Every structure is written in C-alpha cells, then in structure tokens.
Amino acid sequence: MKKTLFTLLFLLSVTLGFSQIVEPVKWQASEKKVSNTELEVTYTATMDEGWHLYGMDLDAGGPIPTAFNYTTLKHATLNGAIAANQELHKEYDPNFEMELTWYVKQVSFVQLFTLADPDFSIEGNISFMACDDQSCTNPSPFEFSFGKKIEKAVPVVTAQNGEVKSALSSTIYKPMVDKLNQTDNDKQSSTSMWKVLLWGLLGGFIALFTPCVWPIIPMTVSFFLKRGGEKSKGKRDAIFYGFAIIIIYLALGLIVTGLFGASALNSMATNAGFNIFFFLLLVLFAVSFFGAFELALPASWSSKIDQKAESTSGILSILLMAFTLVLVSFSCTGPIIGTLLVEAASGSWLGPAIGMFGFALALALPFSLFAFFPSMLKKMPKSGGWMNTLKVVLGFLELALSLKFLSVADLAYGWGLLDRETFIVLWVVIFALLGLYLLGKIRLPHDDKVEKVSVARLMMAIVSLSYALYLVPGLWGAPLRSASAFAPPLYTQDFNLYENEVHPNTTDYETAIQMSRMEHKPILVDFSGFGCVNCRKMEAAVWTNDRVATKLKNNFILVSLMVDDRTPLVEPITVEENGKTRILKTVGDKNSYIQRYKFGSSAQPFYVIVDDEGELLSQSYVFNQDVEAFLDFLKGVE
C-alpha cells in the first residue's frame, strides 16, 4: 500500500484547523478618582506560567506591541505617559531575528487623565501579543470603558509610550463613498461571482478528465446496475447521487472557509508560505503525472467505503458512493479545489460557496447521466494510452501554472527571484517541450511508443508550439496579452525595447498628493495587487494603447497602491473600522484600508481620479478592457 505525501498534508491541514484556542493573558481595568479633575486608570495583565507580554516600543517587522487605543475621549485628555510597574526584560529573539522587550507574570499600567467635566467618557481597547517558548497568540483586543457611555465615538487615537497619534486623519483620507457610483461596484461584484461560477465549472470539467476521476465512471455504473429495482426509482437515485456529490463538495468548501475564514483564504493568496507551498505542491503533482511516482490516497480508504456503500441500502448507500468518488478523486482534484477556494475568497463565504457549487455541478452532471443511462458507458473510451498522455499534458500545464504562485510570493515580498524574462523563458521551454512530447519526440515512463501521430495530438502540438513562439517577443518587452494574467508585471522587465510601457509615478498615496500639488495634475489612483489577474490584463490590454499611454504619462500622476504588498510600515498604524480596532502593519494593509475607508470598495482593479486634496473628480472605473471606455473615464476630468 502506497503512502503519499499528499495524504499527510491533507491530514495535517485538517488537524491544524482544530487547534485549541488559548488565552494566556487576562486583563483587568480599574479606575480611581484622584481629584475632581483627575482620574487614575490601572490596566493589569496577568500571564500564565511561561508566557510573556510584549512591550510598547518594538521595531517594525516583529511581534505586535502592546498598545492602548482610545476610541472615545469625551471631556477627558491624557495626562502624561502611561507607566508600567515592572521593568522590561530585554532579549534577542532568534525567531523574529531582533531584540525584543517583554513583561512576565503580572504587570500593571497606570494612566492619568485630566477631566474637563464630571460627565466624561473614556472608551477603548488594548491590542497585544503574547508568546511562550513554543507558540504565540494574537487574541482580540481587551475592551474597556469608564464614565458615561456615548453612542458615537470621536476619531480614533492611539496612546503608545505617552504619544498620542491620529490614525490617517488628514482630509486627503476623507471618505468619498457617497460620491461614488456604487452601481459600478455592485456590477463588478456581480460579475466577479459569475466569473467564480464559471471558473468552478471549468475546474470541474477539467477534473473529469484527470486520471483519478475517469476510472470511477465504470464503478459508478456498476454500482447502480447492481441496485436493480424499478426504473423510476433508479432514475430518482441517479438524480440524488448528483445532488449528493454537489452537497459534499459544497460542504467541503464551506467547512474550509469556516475553519480558516474567507478573508484568511483571501490573504493566503499573497502569503509567501502559502504560495511557496502551492508552487511545490503543483510541481510535485507535475512530476507525478510525468511518471516519476504515483500519488494516491491509501486504497484501503476508498475500498472500505465502497464496500460499505454496496452493503448498505437506501439513501445512505448513495451518499457513501458519492463520498467514495470525492475521496478517490481528491488526490487529483485537491490542487484544483485549493486554487479555486483561494481565488474565490473575497472576504465572505459567498465566493467559495459559488466556486465549489460550480465545480461540483460540472463534476456531478456526467456521473448522474451515467447513473441515469448506464448504457452510455459502452460508448465511452476505456482508460489506456490516451489517459497517460492526458496525465503528461496536465503535468506540463500544472508546471506552468505553478510559476504563477512563485511569482506572487516573489512580488509581494520583493525578493526579485522571478522577473518577467525568467518567467517567460520558463514558459517558452515548457510549452515547446509539450509540443515535442505530443509529436512523439519525447517519451516518458509508462508512455507507449508513438507509431503515428493522431490528428488530435497534431492539433494540440501545433497550438503548444505556436504559443511557445508567441511568447518569445515578450523577452524584449512585448505585452503578451494572453499571458499577462500570469506573468509578472512589465516593470519587472530588465531588458525592454517596448517604448509604450506605463510605469506608476509613485506607489505611495501621500507622495502622489505632494506630486499633484507641485505639477498641478490630477491623480489617477490604481488599486491593484501583485496577485491580481485582471490588473495585469488591464495593464497589458488597455495601458499599452498609444492614446491611453500618452494620457497617463502626460496628464496624470499615476499612483499604484498594491493591496497585497507585504513590506512592513515604518510604524504600525492603529485605526478604528466597523467598531473594531485594527493595526495596519504592512504597506498592503494601509492601501487596502484606504480603499475600503475612503472609497468603500475592496475589488481590484479599481480606479478613481482625485485632486491634490483627495477630492473625487470622477466616478470609479472597474475591470473593463474596452479602450474607448477607459479613455472616456480619463476624459471626464479634462
């Protein structure tokens, strides 16, 4: 019985999902009137044995410092710096590779307030992080309130080491949501959901032809033939079988989303560890499909469930049969499902649910038809040499797709490992080798000798070799619109003979405001992302147009704000959002917050034009590759 790495990874992911939640730090807050105009507040943190609470003054890129955030200060002002009754322990931490400070056992922080009126109100929370020798925890902030509660809080401020900071309070960040045309946002959201459904359907149809799923077709027909009985009942069972497959896959998507959260899945899309993991996983599957080894879940799992399905009657047996299909096919469908869930996650459960529904629908429909009309099986081609050829073709495609994940991690963290030329060279080689394989010039393990090239193989070889040649001009800067969704942006090109390339003037919003004031030009704000497929399509299909490029270069200050940029901020920023305090630690966190707070959107690409005060000059523009429509959008401010 073959044990596989994929099985271990699958079990590990499930185990991690049920990790126990710990609360190693307990907070208490108390108040004491020193006089009619002075209030003393004490915050006490008690830590479990072996745990420590980080100090308030830490360098960026390390753990989250302890911060006292005040969302309401009515008739009350801070009087001096907050003081702790315990000396900070200072030590070099090899995990964070920096010198850190922390408190142990129990520490109290005392803050004095000056009261301007007995009817005062103080509200806020404490954000913090605690670690022991083995793990760390970043729990929800501890909330506190003193005096009279009020309905509406004043703008958020952060008190850290006695310094009071306003979080993004400048007028250039004034929310513009009411002035935007929300129809565009709603339309893009609706369009995105349709795209998620279509991607799910495409993923399901691709999964049908994987070597893990195709052999299940005879097993399905055999199962329903053994059941016998009335034709009407058999047809009802076949329909229920299709619904069972959909329900199981849909439940799988919702469970994964529930365990990790849709926003967490969305953030994983630009997480270096996650993208490297997926890159390696797809390479692993590609090598397996090339014939180096076989990846499969333990046969005993599917055999036991299959036997149980045959020995059980009624609806339960059909459910077990559907579960057998899901289990047996998982080693091939796993990468498709994982990619789909991450790409579909947009901060809510709806995206993953729609994506998994589309995937399951495409996968379940043929199996329901085979169960409905068993005679159709006789017309289906049997597994054989064509199936191995398909495996190898899928291996080449997975190898090409894996580079997309490596590229996203490389761009988000600025490693500079995979620029555009390197990416294109690898794709040229991959698709050229695929074409030669289809022509029988390359043979891999388990391949039969190709005596004659079939028409289907010849046509596929022509497509693959032609695409490889199409990619070659990209080495000198050609836009390559069909590959723009996957390749790194044009600005990563070292050797570029293409003259119409558009580069942003800056990647910082405040800098764009200053440039606008100096050059007296409006600002085109481009909310984008390193992992944003549609952003690359817009840059390749629209920005490279001569008229568009000329306008962008001459008439605007172009600022590209990457929402997935993992570069640490010089100093973390504390903001109040939807009644909760958040700490913005990276450039991407800040850019994403600006888009949500000021413009009420979280979709990319998203374009708005503002003046040097941050005031809107136009409606928003979303993904639309119509050059004339984009030009009309730009002309709206002239």
CA distances from 441 to 241, 260, 412, 444, 450 (A): 43, 46, 39, 10, 9
In this prediction, residue 163 carries a pLDDT of: 39
In this prediction, residue 521 has a pLDDT band, given cuts at 50, 70 and 90, of: very high
In this prediction, residue 297 carries a pLDDT of: 47
CB 203, CB 340: distance < 8 Å: yes
In this prediction, residue 170 carries a pLDDT of: 64
Q: Does residue 310 carry a pLDDT above 70?
A: no
Mean pLDDT value across residues 381-398: 74
Give the strand pairing for 130-131 and 136-137. antiparallel
Q: Which domains does the chain have, with CATH numbers?
A: 23-166 (2.60.40.1250), 183-418 (no CATH), 509-635 (3.40.30.10)
Question: 155-173 burial string, b = 16+ CB within 10 Å, else e?
Answer: ebbbbbeeeeeebbeeebb
In this prediction, residue 352 carries a pLDDT of: 67
In eight-state DSSP terms, residue 210 is: S
In eight-state DSSP terms, residue 439 is: T
Measure the CA–CA gap between 558 and 561, rounded to whole angstroms: 10
Give the strand pairing for 557-562 and 523-528. parallel
In this prediction, residue 429 carries a pLDDT of: 96
Q: Does residue 183 carry a pLDDT above 70?
A: no
Q: Does residue 469 carry a pLDDT above 90?
A: yes
Q: Work out the mean pLDDT of the chain and round it to a whole number.
A: 74
Q: Does residue 252 carry a pLDDT above 60?
A: yes
In this prediction, residue 18 carries a pLDDT of: 33
Q: Does residue 461 carry a pLDDT above 90?
A: yes
Mean pLDDT value across residues 361-382: 65
In this prediction, residue 437 carries a pLDDT of: 93
Say which residues have a Cβ less than 8 Å from residue 583's Cβ, sequence separation at least 6.
Answer: 64, 67, 127, 572, 573, 574, 575
Q: Does residue 166 carry a pLDDT above 50?
A: no
Q: Residue 133's Cα: distance from chain center in Å?
A: 30
Measure the CA–CA gap between 491 and 539, rounded to whole angstroms: 11
Q: Find the distance separating the first CA and the last CA of the chain, reported in whole Å.
A: 71
Of the ranges 74-78, 314-318, 590-594, which one carries the lowest mean pLDDT score?
314-318
In this prediction, residue 364 carries a pLDDT of: 76
Tokens describing residue 46 = 């008690």
Mean pLDDT value across residues 623-631: 88
CA distances from 229 to 91, 225, 233, 236, 237 (A): 75, 9, 7, 11, 11
In this prediction, residue 157 carries a pLDDT of: 42
Question: 26-46 burial string, b = 16+ CB within 10 Å, else e?
Answer: ebebeeeeeeeeebebebebe
Helix, strand, coil in percent for the chain, rounding step 5: 50, 20, 30
In this prediction, residue 218 carries a pLDDT of: 58
What's this model's pTM, rounded to 2 decimal places?
0.51
In this prediction, residue 179 carries a pLDDT of: 63
Q: Does residue 301 carry a pLDDT above 60?
A: no
Say which residues have a Cβ less than 8 Å from residue 552's Cβ, sequence separation at least 6.
Answer: 502, 524, 543, 558, 634
Of the ranges 78-82, 378-382, 414-418, which one carries the lowest mean pLDDT score?
378-382
In this prediction, residue 74 carries a pLDDT of: 81
In this prediction, residue 628 carries a pLDDT of: 92
What HEC string does 39-79 produce? EEEEEEEEECCCCEEECCCCCCCCCCCCEEEEEEEECEEEE
Note the pLDDT tens digit of each residue in 107-163: 999 999 888 888 888 888 888 877 776 566 656 678 888 887 654 433 344 444 433
Say which residues have a Cβ less than 8 Å from residue 177's Cβ, sequence separation at least 6.
Answer: 598, 599, 600
Tokens describing residue 310 = 């045959």
Q: Is the pLDDT higher at 18 or at 373?
A: 373
| Strand stretches in 541-579, DSSP E | 557-562, 568-577
In this prediction, residue 425 has a pLDDT band, given cuts at 50, 70 and 90, of: very high
In this prediction, residue 303 has a pLDDT band, given cuts at 50, 70 and 90, of: low
Of the ranges 187-201, 374-388, 552-566, which one carries the lowest mean pLDDT score?
374-388
Q: Does residue 14 carry a pLDDT above 50?
A: no
Share of the chain above pLDDT 90, in %: 11
Q: Does residue 517 carry a pLDDT above 80?
A: yes
Q: Cis peptide leading into 335, omega within 30 of 0? A: no
Q: Is the pLDDT higher at 312 or at 394?
A: 394
What count of other Cβ atoms lies within 10 Å of the Cβ of residue 309? Answer: 19
Mean pLDDT value across residues 252-281: 64
Place of tokens 């293409």: 498
CA distances from 319 to 322, 477, 581 (A): 5, 54, 45
Mean pLDDT value across residues 509-530: 89
What count of other Cβ atoms lies within 10 Å of the Cβ of residue 588? Answer: 22
Question: 465-497 burial string, b = 16+ CB within 10 Å, else e?
Answer: bebbeebeebbebbbbeebbebbbbbebbeebe
In this prediction, residue 342 has a pLDDT band, given cuts at 50, 70 and 90, of: low
